[in-house]
Amino acid sequence: MTDTPDRAETISLLSQQWDALADLVAGLDENRWRTPSPLPGWTVFDVLAHVIGTESFLLGEKPPAQHPKHAKVDVRTLPHVRNEIGVMNEIWVQRLRPLPGRELLQLFRDVTDRRHKMLAAMADAQWQVPTQSPVGEVPYGRFMRVRLFDCWMHELDIADALGVAVDEGGRRGELAFAEFTASLPRVLVKLGKAPEGSSITFDLTGPLARRLHIEVGGRARYVEALDAPATVTITLDAGLLARLGGGRVTADSVLGRIHFTGDSDLGRQLVRNLTFTI
């Protein structure tokens, strides 16, 4: 996976992802808009408001003014706000929350249309400019792949909240999941405390099925194949892995959907310590 993905493809997939989000909420009544999502403190409405906020920020825009009839909230006191990015996210959500769902969807379509035009008008050199992102300073193009992952995850959030199925695979899912798995070796050591000399295989099922082999030696890294049987093989759906990494579910609540071969104690330790996305 390169640090600067193909510009035309990434822009096209982002646009498709925004369309998928809009299609998912189109036609919802106000009660359905306010359905709690897997994200603490946020409804379906709030998830889409968050995406609007991020894309508006990338257009250089500020949050709208506080609604005069909406109680002001010190977002830093909310238990699910843990850092400055969370503060910014929550301000946008709070400021947009008084809108009815149909107006939020109109705003989403307007903002993402302007973002698509902005990206399409960028010069190739701008795609390479070092930019601060949730994964550190990376080329702007890599940041847009992070945006694709974030929006893909929020499609899953909304679908799970509404109890509907969406296509988690395809090229959008492939590129988003590649962004997610890029951090997995580091997470297994930093959070999961995978021991030196161990090896882990993820045998993933579902639309994003694949086998991921990771060796821990000095640092954790992907390898094409292991020289010996893995210390532990963890078999689960790729979408479930993404939800674990995003903190949408706890490992203990879904252990019945995860199978371990080899050192099952290590396997459980790893899946219980996978949450790493913001």
Average pLDDT over residues 118-129: 94
Average pLDDT over residues 44-69: 89
Does pLDDT of 69 surpass 80?
no
The predicted-structure confidence for 130-180, as pLDDT tens digits, reads as follows 998 888 899 999 999 999 999 999 999 999 999 999 999 999 999 999 999
Domain range 7-165, CATH architecture: Up-down Bundle (1.20)
The predicted-structure confidence for 193-249, as pLDDT tens digits, reads as follows 999 999 999 999 999 999 999 999 988 999 999 999 999 999 999 999 999 999 999
pTM recorded for the entire structure: 0.92
Which pLDDT score is estimated for 86?
Answer: 61
**Domain ranges for the chain:** 7-165, 173-272
**Residue found under tokens 């795609």:** 127
Does pLDDT of 3 surpass 80?
no
What is the full DSSP assignment across the chain? --SS--HHHHHHHHHHHHHHHHHHHTT--HHHHT-B-SSTT-BHHHHHHHHHHHHHHHTTPPPPPPPTTS----GGGSTT--SHHHHHHHHHHHHHTTS-HHHHHHHHHHHHHHHHHHHHH--HHHHTSEEEETTEEEEHHHHHHHHHHHHHHHHHHHHHHHT------HHHHHHHHHHHHTTHHHHHHHTT-PPTT-EEEEEEESTT-EEEEEEEESEEEEESS-SS--SEEEEEEHHHHHHHHTTSS-GGGSGGG-EEEE-HHHHHHHHTT-----
- Report the topology of domain 173-272: Nonspecific Lipid-transfer Protein; Chain A (3.30.1050)
